[in-house]
Amino acid sequence: MRVIQTLPELRQALQASGCAFVPTMGNLHEGHLSLVRQAGALSQPVVASIFVNRLQFAPHEDFDTYPRTFDRDCTLLREAGCDIVFAPPERELYPEPQGYTVQPPAGLADVLEGHFRPGFFNGVCTVVLKLFNAVQPAVAVFGKKDYQQLMVVRGMVRQLALPIRIEAGETCRADDGLALSSRNGYLSAAERAEAPALARTLREVAAHLHAGATDCAALEAQAMHTLAQRGWAPDYVAVRRQRDLGEPVPAEPLVVLAAARLGTTRLIDNLECMPMAG
């Protein structure tokens, strides 16, 4: 496995190879590694990037303290079958202030995560487009755990006519149901014991929908209340269409999405579910 830090070296190593690509911010866990293995089954070679992207962090968020575990990450990537790790220093991707940015449509990017983290998807799209231009993959794999991000990236690739196939990887979970996340390491022991309640809440909402419930607003409000009663500070629990995160309508596949803070740690999760009854 090669570790590459500069764009010229990366381009020389790949040379229109039609690779598979998995972008990450490092601090890897089994969820990331499952995406790398999925990528390896789709195309060769497999390239993973490690880059903590300042543009997607608000001033009050954890850019400076975000865990950076580069040596461990490289070991895990090598074991997962990665061929090239692209780990540019910040000045390599941003040699000058980034005046040109990618602004995704407000209807998709300014709701849910975008509402609570203004500018987040602008930063995501800008760095992903830069990485796509650098790596020029045939296929890129993104996890469903960041469901809205997956939808935003798919839309960018489609509307900008990028010659890249976007594949989705299923969410990896701990045995107790907690979605794996780099930020789970922030949780105290007591918070880690409570954290699976977020996934349980999503399953309860999905079960009501599967049983024919149609009052999504009531389900969302009850889920928010349940989390708050358990000591969480929920930002949202939302039932949306899978295809575009629009408001639910009968007979369309749905996804239940949630974001909530437990102590000082903000967790997100989602669960796809069967359509409402018509």
Q: Is the dihedral of CA 213, 179, 238, 265 positive or negative?
A: positive
**What is the Cα–Cα distance from 143 to 157, expressed in whole angstroms?**
16
Tell me how far CA of residue 234 lies from CA of 95, 144, 149, 273, in angstroms: 38, 20, 19, 21
Q: What angle do CA 152, 260, 60 make, to 5 degrees?
A: 75
Nearest to 275 by CA among 244, 236, 247, 241: 241
86: enclosing H helix or E strand: strand 84-86
Question: Which one of the listed residues 32, 60, 115, 225 is annotated catalytic?
Answer: 32
Query: CA of 77: how far to CAs of 42, 164, 174, 223, in Å?
Result: 17, 22, 20, 37
Residue 32 annotated in active site: yes
Q: Which residues does the annotation mark as catalytic?
A: 32
